Chains A and B, each alone.
Chain A
């Protein structure tokens, strides 16, 4: 089957979704996806970030689809023509969804462990605005302790349902889910139960935002200060491949995650033993540096670039600024008009 996305054509198997086809093409036309996750059955369709315009339904039925379609759950048809980045309507919709996702999202990136590898940050960077139109109080939730390994920060959650699907599909004893409804929907165990299943740690990897983070890594480092390496070990947990990325600071393994591809999806799910308990270099066979996509902030700490020493001349700099400000405010080079002189000297009240 042939489909065309933003003018680029590709042959795909029946059953391929538009998003999958776009990912095969790669580049700018790939729609952002906050809830769809290839390895989780039934995921997708919820965040509405990946909306695209179907300009031609198929060769058999060339009518355009009236509504924008969620590319992650819409199957390709032979001859289908799709506008993604090329469509202004689509760009507008992505901007809208970004705004909706951000209105209640806390502005706590500076203290969020996900910062630097956050899909919502990336989405905002590309489709967000620097101003907010939302002046109401942001929604907050009571903190809930879900055990020693996983930190739940509900205020950051965008309700992608991925973690629920991980619990459903990777474990047989799901103890958390989505409670309540509407804008009060929240991820919870309802009874503050520890989520301890051996594969529960994958909830952290699939979480697109900082709602589920690794408690054993909490506040240890910014992700871009770590050096990621691919590593493996002989893991005895049934179902775990033992292939991971270890995040090092000097000789210390600060964090272990699954290996994520350019769409931030893990190649394989890993067990909690690998993730939380194996933090010694001797636990692992290090394969080599893990590569990230070109624009990832993680590359800030890449392996080759030399950094110049940064000298910050605090006091001097501040005074310099003050001097400049003083000049700007008084604007001595612009002579005052007669009325202005009067106002400045006598006031206008």
Chain B
């Protein structure tokens, strides 16, 4: 098995684990999410595979539900950021000089703005919710995606066959659909997979700061925050969500790695 395939498979398994946990949690969890019958900080036992938190809630249950929130945020941010970013990027790619320069400068400014700070502004304006987090992370991501898209579009537009197509009177929406998108999507897909991992991490940071999905939605970031004061007596509460984050983010990065080598024939030939 070639290296890129190994990356894809390994990444797929890791992301798949999270997806499986999230999907199963829709149908079944070891305990109801808000069941507080487990006793305060119960140790790891067969009844509670990861122990319980201060309120007596099962941590394994919370971890499964947290997987759902992590995936929802990651995918949501990728959809928002990807759509907006690709649209703006294509517009900038096709734009004339001054508009192109203006858009490029705007994107640089948005990228220079720290993601968490932007997210805090959005949360301050809209109130803390999963939707706010997705919107904020999507907005931040869209600038990165737009900048990449703009460069890719410019590169495709410089090709002779595109010039020929434009000269022969093909409308620009058709050029986008027939020439631009097919040529830029592999690189975009790699980038979006990476951005997915970053969005998951950023959501955990927001929840850790109390700015993510409000309780009782157990995001992994909130689990980390709540377990922090009890780490000496119940370390599983901190280790479990931490590991879950690592699994999902490393998985997303491996998938991106695998996709990159699939998408880039040069890299494939040399591997």
Do A and B bind?
no
